[in-house]
Amino acid sequence: MYVGIDIGATHTRVALAVVPNNIVQKKDFATTSFRETIARIVESIRLLAPEKIEAIGISSPAPLNKVQGTILNTPNLPNWKDKPLVDMLKQELHCPVYLEHDASAGALAEFLYGQKSANPLLYLTLSTGIGGGLIKEGQIYEGTNSIHLGHQVIDKKGPKCSCGKNGCLEAFVSGWAIEKKFGKPAQEIDDPAVWDEVGENLAVGINNSVMHYLPELIVLGGGLIQKGDLLLKPLQKHLEQYFCQDIPLPSIELARLGQDSSLIGALAIAWKKYNNK
C-alpha cells in the first residue's frame, strides 16, 4: 500500500492506493497548524491503512528543502517554516517518506497517467497561486530547487507579489491577484475584457517559459481552467501574437486528472522512489 498526502493552503488530503492512479480511500480535512495537521494526517493514515505501508509521498507548496524534509518560506503556510515534516511522519509511521513540490507532483501525474509521450512536458497550475513543473525524459526536472514559473517577473513595475517582489506572473494572473484587482473571486467574473487581460499576461509568462524549456506540450491545471474558453481563447490569441516565429507553438491541453493531479503525483512519487523507477 502507498499513501499520498497533498498539503494545500486550505485543505490537506490523504489517499491510499496499491497503484498510484487508482485511489481506494481518501480523506480530506482543513489545513491548520503544523502539529495539528500532522496529527490529523497520522490519524487518517492509521485509520485508512492499518496494514503495512510501503512508502508515503507528500505534495506541498514550494519552496522546500527536500534534503531536510521541510517546507521553507511559503506565504501560504507561514507557520510551517522549517518544521520537521518528513521526520515526524517517519517517526510515527515507520516507513520511507518523500517530499515533493506540488506542481512537480501534478506534472508527474499528468505525464504518467495522461500524456506519456510528451518530452519535455510543462505543467502550469492556475489557482490561488501560480505553480509550474517540468517533466524531462520521464523524470521531474530538478535544479537547485523546484522551478518557480509563477514568480518570473513579466513587468518590473507591476503589482506587488505574495513573494515580496513586484511584477511576477502570479501578481497578474493568480486567483488572489484577479480578486484583488477586479474586486471579486475569479470564478464569479464573466467579463470577456477581464479574461482578455488575464489571457494576455498569461501568454507572456507562457511565452517566456517556452523559450527557456522548449516543451513539446503544455498542460494547464488548477481551478481557473474551469473558466474554459473565456480564458483559453484569449490565451491562444495572445500566444500567437507574442510567439517567436522560428519556434513552433507547443500544443496546450487541459489537465486530465483535474483536482487530483498533485495527490496522484504524491502517490506516484512514493511508488517510484520505493521501487527505484
**Shortest separation between residue 146's beta carbon and Zn ion, angstroms:** 14
38 binds Zn ion (CB under 5 A): no
DSSP code, position 38: H
Q: Measured from the CB atom, is 58 or 103 closer to Zn ion?
A: 103
Distance, in Å, from the CA atom of 241 to the CA atom of 45, rounded to the nearest integer, reads 49
Distance, in Å, from the CA atom of 135 to the CA atom of 235, rounded to the nearest integer, reads 23
Q: Measured from the CB atom, is 167 or 223 closer to Zn ion?
A: 167
For residues 41 and 81, is the Cβ–Cβ distance under 8 A?
Answer: no
> Which span (44-52, 129-137, 168-176, 249-257) binds Zn ion, by CB under 5 A?
168-176
> Which span (99-107, 135-143, 155-163, 178-186) binds Zn ion, by CB under 5 A?
155-163
What is the distance of C-alpha 41 from the center of its chain?
A: 20
151 binds Zn ion (CB under 5 A): yes
**Shortest separation between residue 76's beta carbon and Zn ion, angstroms:** 12
Distance, in Å, from the CA atom of 137 to the CA atom of 109, rounded to the nearest integer, reads 14
Angle at 34 between CA 30 and CA 40, to 5 degrees: 50
> Which span (36-44, 58-66, 115-123, 147-155) binds Zn ion, by CB under 5 A?
147-155
Q: Measured from the CB atom, is 149 or 266 closer to Zn ion?
A: 149
49 binds Zn ion (CB under 5 A): no
153 binds Zn ion (CB under 5 A): no
Burial (Cβ within 10 Å: 0-12, 13-18, ≥19) of residue 195: buried
> Which span (66-74, 75-83, 103-111, 154-162) binds Zn ion, by CB under 5 A?
154-162
149 binds Zn ion (CB under 5 A): no
- 228-234: which pairs have CB atoms within 8 A and are 24 or more residues apart? 230/190, 230/192, 230/195, 231/126, 231/195, 231/198, 231/199, 231/202, 232/199, 233/199, 234/192, 234/195, 234/196, 234/198, 234/199, 234/200
DSSP alpha helices (H): ranges in the chain?
34-48, 85-93, 102-113, 170-173, 175-182, 192-213, 229-242, 261-274
13 binds Zn ion (CB under 5 A): no
Question: What is the Cα gyration radius of the chain?
Answer: 18
> Which span (103-111, 115-123, 158-166, 197-205) binds Zn ion, by CB under 5 A?
158-166
Closest CA to 20 of 51, 59, 50: 59
Q: How many residues bind Zn ion (CB under 5 A)?
A: 5
Q: Measured from the CB atom, is 20 or 129 closer to Zn ion?
A: 129
**Shortest separation between residue 195's beta carbon and Zn ion, angstroms:** 22
Out of 161, 198, 264, 268, point to the residue binding Zn ion (CB under 5 A).
Answer: 161
163 binds Zn ion (CB under 5 A): yes
173 binds Zn ion (CB under 5 A): no
- Contact residues for Zn ion, defined by CB under 5 A: 151, 161, 163, 165, 168
